[in-house]
Structure 1
Amino acid sequence: MINKTFDSIDDAVADIADGSTILFGGFGGAGVAYESILALYRQGAKNIIGVSNNPGYEHEGIAKLILHDRLSKLMCSFPNNKQSYVFIEKYNQGKIDLELIPQGTFAERIRAGGAGIEAFFTPTGVGTEVAIGKEEREINGVTCILEKAIRGDYAFVKAKKADRWGNLVYNKSGRNFNPVMAMAGKITIAEVDEIVEIGELDPETIVTPGIFVQRIVKRSGL
């Protein structure tokens, strides 16, 4: 019987090693797997390469990991927000590296990783610092740069509901980056509000099929 549920979020993150690349779902505060991130903080892994649309706000989300020097690098689209002062301070101190990625390119690089596409050409970033060191090619008269896929050793996603097979239903804007990150993680950990029986989810509402999810844990809500 397939059952991907874990009794605790601490058990679900226990094997994450130093130096792992982790995809952190969420956009702003929506769809962020906060309890998974706190469990990772307790677990103690360090030198993590984080992939996230932003570096968290104040001391919440991955900002807590950054505050305690757990991330060595952040791949991100929006690092410079006044509420993201933890990342800004650590970056200015030289304690964390940054790969700045335009948001559309960011989403497509992750989607490509999940779809088995190694790289793609895009005009976004041509003529800017984003293009430095990247292959250029003219396609249909448009200059493009080569962008490589992003994949993670782990992906932390937040969903509204799951069944024990790992099929996921999201809550409105909580979908954001979570579906593509779930596809691009070797081990995807889904933090969910509710776990239901097989057959209770309407197939039309399932966004992430269980084939992309390896671990499920119910949020404590604390």
Structure 2
Amino acid sequence: MSGSKKVYKDAQSALAGIKDDMTLILGGFGLCGIPENCISVLAKSGVKNLTCVSNNAGVDDFGLGLLLQNRQIKKMISSYVGENALFEKLYMSGELEVEFCPQGTLAERMRAGGAGIAGFYTPTGVGTLIADGKEIKKFEGREYVLERGIKGDFAFVKAWKGDKFGNLVFRKTSRNFNPMAATAGKITVAEVEELVEIGELDPDQIHTPGVYVQRIFQGSGYEKRIEQRTIRK
């Protein structure tokens, strides 16, 4: 696929093919580095019964919280959801299915899915509810739990810069779950703050190679909210 065929006008066109009941993988940590434009279009699209894989679920009125407001998500696979009161309400009422996953394990499940690895063993979660119903094996006298790799129908990531082939550069903390998420979608959509020509990015600075990205567009109107702002007096 040539670079030009990967470039889309906006989030609306880049999300063509999204349907009910799909599994979506989203990069970002808290509200840092989340694909704001893609989430906004998803919230207006009307798609429902989604399984969303994301470190967290945004806040009540931003990020994935917008999809929760619309009751578009049937299941969340997440690590940290403590900033969203609506998430708690939907979970406690039985309207939302939740699969909690340790943060490092979640990152590795995305990476494994993108690498074509069906599963891996980790000591994290052994002896807790996380391990219930999962295979346990001993290696060198220590117990490990089998975790499955994750692959999504679509993956959505947000980068600082990208070129028309889909090579991506993430800035600072936004290089969190985004690189792993980018590998784990059958179709990966990248929104970038700046879209440049092929060859303009320093190859040594590229965090995600374009081979993982099928669609890319230059986003706009980023709010870049902060969940908890702490400043000196």
Q: TM-score, normalised by structure 1?
A: 0.97
Paired residue type of 1:90 = L
Structure 1: 4+ residue segments shifted above 4 A: none
RMSD over aligned CA atoms reads 1.0
Q: Could you list the per-position Cα deviations for residues 110-165 of structure 1 after superposition, in whole angstroms to 9, with x for gaps in the alignment? A: 11111111111111111111111001111111011111101111111000111110
Equivalent-residue separation in structure 2 for 1:87 and 1:99 (angstroms): 13
Alignment of 1:1-222 (within 5 A): 1-3=2-4, 4-79=6-81, 81=82, 83-221=83-221
Contact 1:10 1:43 in 2 (8 A): no
Equivalent-residue separation in structure 2 for 1:148 and 1:54 (angstroms): 19
Number of equivalent positions: 220
Contact 1:67 1:90 in 2 (8 A): no
Structure 2, unpaired ranges of 5+: 223-233
Structure 1, unpaired ranges of 5+: none
| Residue 2 of structure 1, CA deviation | 2.9
Contact 2:3 2:166 in 1 (8 A): no
Paired residue type of 1:10 = Q
Equivalent-residue separation in structure 2 for 1:55 and 1:157 (angstroms): 15
Equivalent-residue separation in structure 1 for 2:3 and 2:204 (angstroms): 22
Q: Could you list the per-position Cα deviations for residues 25-55 of structure 1 after superposition, in whole angstroms to 9, with x for gaps in the alignment? A: 1001111001110111111111000001011
Paired residue type of 2:104 = G
Q: TM-score, normalised by structure 2?
A: 0.92
Q: Secondary structure at the match of 1:120?
A: strand
Paired residue type of 1:163 = D
Equivalent-residue separation in structure 1 for 2:146 and 2:57 (angstroms): 25
Equivalent-residue separation in structure 2 for 1:8 and 1:179 (angstroms): 21
